Structure 1
Amino acid sequence: MEFVLAYVTAGSREEALRIGRALVGERLAACANVLDGMTSVYRWNGAIEEAAEAVLIAKTRAELFEALAERVRALHSYDTPCVVEVRLGRGNPAFLAWLGQETA
């Protein structure tokens, strides 16, 4: 079984928590971490922008990533939310077994 992290940025801690709760509640993710206080610098519509954001890191099975990404897009306030997959290598076998169980 392969596992991934879904890296998602959100406009606020509250939005990241709402999305994380939905993903875990729907078993699309076993766990969601919310890291508040991030500042993003990016180009949008030809201008360099800067915005306060929160990061959501969701742990899931690779086969669930597309469904998870679709759900994030449906729940997210951004027109083009950042939802990217980061593949995991080795890890604590007990943790990975738990991750698999919680997303079954």
Structure 2
Amino acid sequence: MQTLTPEMVAAARKSLQECLAKSVIPKEYWDEITHWLEATHMENIYLEGREAIGAWWASKEVRKMGFAINFAKGGCMPSNWFPEGENWDMAQAQAKYRLVADWQCLIEHDALIKI
């Protein structure tokens, strides 16, 4: 595994902040996203903002259904689940649609873990 340089970490954090600023994601979720990325160490894996946020969002959604995602096995790009749209409700609906569309891929790759 490649060691992250301080420059890489700074660039990833900048990408995340820029992505959040341009998104329809309510600001009250921004700290939650940052803390989740740190706690799960996903900030060291998904260095691009859309990937990191998509991973957070999908993890949150599958947890509601009693699952966790093993992203290493997933076979899907989390940026596909990035919530974007005209408003937060529409963005979530569209992201959920794309997550459901990828559900078969997650099953085939044995990436869903019952919790």
- When normalised by structure 2's length, the TM-score is 0.28
Whichever structure has more strand as a proportion of its residues is 1
Whichever structure has more helix as a proportion of its residues is 2
Asked which structure has the greater RCO (Cα within 8 Å, sep 6+), the reply is: 1
